[in-house]
Amino acid sequence: MKTAELSEKILSGDRRALARAITLVESGREDHRAAATELLEQLAKSGRQALRIGLSGTPGVGKSTFIESFGMMLVAQGLRVAVLAVDPSSARTGGSILGDKTRMEQLSRQKGAFIRPSPSQTNLGGVARRTREAVSLCEAAGFDVVLIETVGVGQSETVVAQMSDLFLLLLAPAGGDELQGVKRGIMEMADIILVNKADGDLKSAAMRTCADYSGALRLLRKRPQDPTGYPKAQTVSALQEAGLDTAWEDMKTLMEWRREKGHWSGTRAEQARYWFGEDVRQALLARLKTTWAQDRMEALSDQVASGEVSPTAAAQEMLKGLGVAG
Ligand code: GDP
């Protein structure tokens, strides 16, 4: 299919065309890359924007249950919802692969919903670019909300937070000392902490955990992009669909405030800068990984070790070979 035709179909909201375009951006083939870049440029002209919501949480905390319930609630309100995942392959365990067909069963059947499993790739940098481009494609296809899910391990939260307007951290009810288990950096990224499973026997533990996190959040430095009362913690039950409407109201309040104050566009501009830098860094690192570069590095480092060449001269030689020296 020609890029123009694909672009046309995506703009008309054709989900198959969208899926196809995401496959195109996920491809490593050079001609596909060129076509994807052209497509993204054409689609950027539409100026369509979605609310991008990042969602992180450890396996078992209830992410897919939450997305299913929350997504269904949004769809019932007439909103179109896309779900993407950033899934560092190392985090995959047995049957619970993000985007597994059995997950979000109800939501996946909705006309107003689109669910895309994570691209399989070990390199988080590569996954980040593909997901970011998939987000843009979903926006062009007219989705109102794009949920970007990740397993709460390692670097993937940062990646997701850097492509989201709003970052949610899903936690499970726990004993008081569990608070230590969430890294401060991750807490600082969260706009709203949702303590899930606030139902049945777990309800009082969830409320305690929520109070602990509310207290911890109050101790964090106030961010200029937040109105009073944010970041905040609240309880939800994804299973019983409780508290989801309140959570959504809070998200909307936060985003309206940020939009009014110019923080929304400001954050997106900062994120664009970040990704530009990341793309350059990733491309340079990729050059170092070719067989030629690795052999050359080894040869030059042997020469450096034996004192034949100075480290500086060897580095310059290497960079010249890579075509990046001035
Ligand atoms: P994920 O690995 O984070 O995607 O977690 P899942 O959504 O697969 O949920 C893991 C388990 O927690 C499942 O057995 C769910 O039924 C259960 N679960 C999810 N949300 C809730 C909730 O709100 N309350 C209770 N009691 N269980 C839940």
- Structure confidence at residue 171 (pLDDT): 92
The whole domain housing 89 covers: 48-261
Q: Which residues have a Cβ under 8 Å from the Cβ of 256 and sit 6 or more positions away?
A: none
User: Which of these three, 261, 293, 309, is where a domain ends?
Assistant: 261
Q: Is the CB of 65 under 6 A from ligand 1?
A: yes
CATH assignment of the domain containing 26: 1.20.5.170
Q: Is the CB of 243 under 6 A from ligand 1?
A: no
User: Which of these three, 241, 261, 281, is where a domain ends?
Assistant: 261
Residues 74 and 156 in one domain: yes
d(CA 196, CA 192) in angstroms, rounded, equals 12
- Residue whose CA is at the smallest distance from ligand 1 atom 27: 197
201-259, pLDDT tens digit by residue? 999 999 999 999 999 888 887 788 889 899 999 999 999 999 999 999 999 999 999 99
Q: Is the CB of 197 under 6 A from ligand 1?
A: yes
Residues 166 and 59 in one domain: yes
Sheet with 51-57: list strands edge to edge: 113-115, 81-86, 145-151, 51-57, 166-171, 192-195, 232-235
The residue ranges of DSSP E strands in the chain, in sequence order, are 51-57, 81-86, 113-115, 145-151, 166-171, 192-195, 232-235
- More confident: 100 or 2: 2
- More confident: 326 or 286: 286
User: Which of these three, 261, 293, 311, is where a domain ends?
Assistant: 261
123-158, pLDDT tens digit by residue? 666 778 889 999 999 999 999 999 999 886 667 888
250-297, pLDDT tens digit by residue? 999 999 999 999 999 999 999 999 999 988 988 888 889 999 999 999
Residue 101: pLDDT band with limits 50, 70, 90: very low
Angle of CA points 15, 152, 103, to nearest 5°? 40
Note whether residue 326 is domain-resident.
no
- Structure confidence at residue 99 (pLDDT): 47
Note whether residue 280 is domain-resident.
no
Find residue 237's DSSP bridge partners. 242
Residues 88 and 99 in one domain: yes
Note whether residue 183 is domain-resident.
yes
Q: Structurally, how many domains does the chain consist of?
A: 2
Q: Which atom of ligand 1 is nearest to the CA of 57?
A: 3
pTM for the model stands at 0.89
Q: Residue range 91-113: average pLDDT?
A: 67
Q: Is the CB of 196 under 6 A from ligand 1?
A: yes
d(CA 153, CA 54) in angstroms, rounded, equals 14
At residue 91, does pLDDT exceed 50?
no
Candidates 144, 187, 143; CA nearest to 168 is 187
d(CA 196, CA 177) in angstroms, rounded, equals 17
What three-state secondary structure class fits 121? coil
Q: How far is CA 311 from the centre of its chain?
A: 39
Query: Residue 74 C-alpha to ligand 1 middle, in angstroms?
Result: 19
At residue 102, does pLDDT exceed 90?
no
Note whether residue 136 is domain-resident.
yes
